[in-house]
Homo-oligomer: A and B are copies of this chain.
Amino acid sequence: MQNSSVEHGPGPSVPAGALTTGTMYAPTCRGREVLDRVGDKWSLQVLAVLADRTMRFGELRRTIDGISQRMLTVTLRTLERDGIVIRTMYPVMPPHVEYALTPLGKTLLEAASAFIIWAEAHVDLIEEARADYDARAADEAGPEGFRTS
């Protein structure tokens, strides 16, 4: 995925130095796939819960509550594969398995924390914005010959 066609003419549309602010982000490259990975419905949840302590499968299932058995398994497997959590199995009866964050997982959680905190801090503002937007939208679509009088 690259910008093969920036050629919208010989125009000086990009003043060469316009890339001051951003540029650093621009998940145009492979970082995307990591974001996709961790940006799914459950990964961050699992991460956040494991931040506190090591947990067993059943504990995670009960703690996260809302997650299905299958999705917990899938999520944990992927995180394990990515080196973000580590799975320790004790071959006893009944089985005992523990999940913990790896050092990599901890750095991830740290990096994501600002994001998570932002989300929680601004959720109200966003919902307000939505209400506003919807109200305005209704305003534009609403006055459809309702001049009853």
Contacts and interface: CB of A to CB of B under 8 A. Distances in A.
Interface of A: 1-6, 8, 11, 13-15, 18-41, 44-45, 47-49, 51-53, 58-59, 62-66, 80-84, 104, 106-120, 122-123, 125-126, 128-130, 132-134
Q: Is the interface of A mostly helix, strand, loop or mixed?
A: helix
Given A112-B115, A116-B35, A119-B35, A106 B19 contact: yes
9 contacts: A2-B66, A3-B63, A5-B62, A8-B63, A18-B51, A22-B48, A23-B51, A25-B116, A82-B130
Contact of A63 (B5, B44, B49, B108): B5
A24 B132 CA distance: 30
Number of copies of this kind of chain in the complex: 2
Contacts of A120: 27, 29-31, 34
Nearest to A51: B22
Contacts of A26: 48-49, 51
